[in-house]
Amino acid sequence: MTRVVLARHGETLWHAENRYAGVSDVPLTLRGRQQAAFLANWAGAAGLDAVWASPLSRSRQTAAVCAKVCDLSVRVDERLREVDFGAGEGLTTGEMAARFPAALQAFRENPVAHHLPGGEHPVDAAARFVAALQDFSVERPDGRILVVAHTTVIRLAVCRLIGVPLVHYRRVFPMLRNCGRTELSIDSNGAAVIEFNTPIERDWPVAPGVGESADLPPAR
């Protein structure tokens, strides 16, 4: 059995306006770096065997701080990237409503059958992400690993793993906190949820320098 901890990356520059980042490479804010530092404090005592991240810089930067305190390297897998939101990339829901109101309404009613125009199909996103997790579990059959990724693709993957129809991912799992932790156990028989969306502790002490720009790799 592999214990897989899924964490959303830290806050980015687009969070204040709630813009759909998707595959857009948006950097972390100072708060996002601090959130990564708190996640790293947890990681340092979590007994991790590996740290994986999506190729997007907000994920890699969050993962790098965690890997450093565990004396591990960040392993990047393209399959962990966020869903491509197509025409919705970089927009707020208000802007989408102005540009393609009918498509946005259809997305709200059924985000799988009517995903955002030009975007990645949620079924495909869930399949690639779950395939990555299954590969990691084969590699580390008795280990505990951290996977730093993104809110939509994590929710889709959790639904796929525990048998919740993907169409309900926005209703059943309406949000993920930045750097919140979701832990699963995965083996050949399937998956079980151990905890979901656990917040980082904001009162833990942070080691000097952790969360500062010098500790993070540059955005690509």
CATH number at residue 130: 3.40.50.1240
**In-domain check, residue 15:** yes
**In-domain check, residue 220:** no
**In-domain check, residue 178:** yes
**In-domain check, residue 16:** yes
% residues pLDDT > 70 (the chain): 91
**In-domain check, residue 120:** yes
> pTM value?
0.91
Query: How confident is the model at residue 16, as a pLDDT?
Result: 86
- Mean pLDDT for the stretch of residues 64-69: 98
**92-106, 109-123, 173-187, 198-212: lowest mean pLDDT where?**
198-212
**In-domain check, residue 42:** yes
Q: How many residues does the chain have?
A: 220
Report the chain's mean pLDDT, rounded to a whole number: 92
Query: How confident is the model at residue 53, as a pLDDT?
Result: 98
Collect all residues with Cβ–Cβ distance below 8 Å to 217 and sequence separation of at least 6.
57, 60, 61, 64
**In-domain check, residue 31:** yes
Nearest to 169 by CA among 93, 112, 118: 112
For residue 172, pLDDT beyond 90: yes
Which positions are annotated as active-site residues? 9, 82
- List beta partners, residue 52: 75, 147
Tokens standing for 209?
């320098």
Please state, as a whole number, how many other Cβ atoms lie within 10 Å of the Cβ of residue 207: 13
For residue 189, pLDDT beyond 90: no
CA atoms within 13 A on the CB side of 10: 26
What's the total number of domains in the chain? 1
- Mean pLDDT for the stretch of residues 132-143: 96
Q: Provide the domain limits for residue 86.
A: 2-215
What is the rounded CA–CA span in Å between residue 71 and residue 51? Answer: 10
What is the rounded CA–CA span in Å between residue 150 and residue 192? Answer: 20
**In-domain check, residue 96:** yes
For residue 93, pLDDT beyond 60: yes
| 3-class secondary structure, 28 | strand
Query: How confident is the model at residue 211, as a pLDDT?
Result: 45
Q: What confidence tier does 204 reach under pLDDT thresholds 50, 70, 90?
A: low
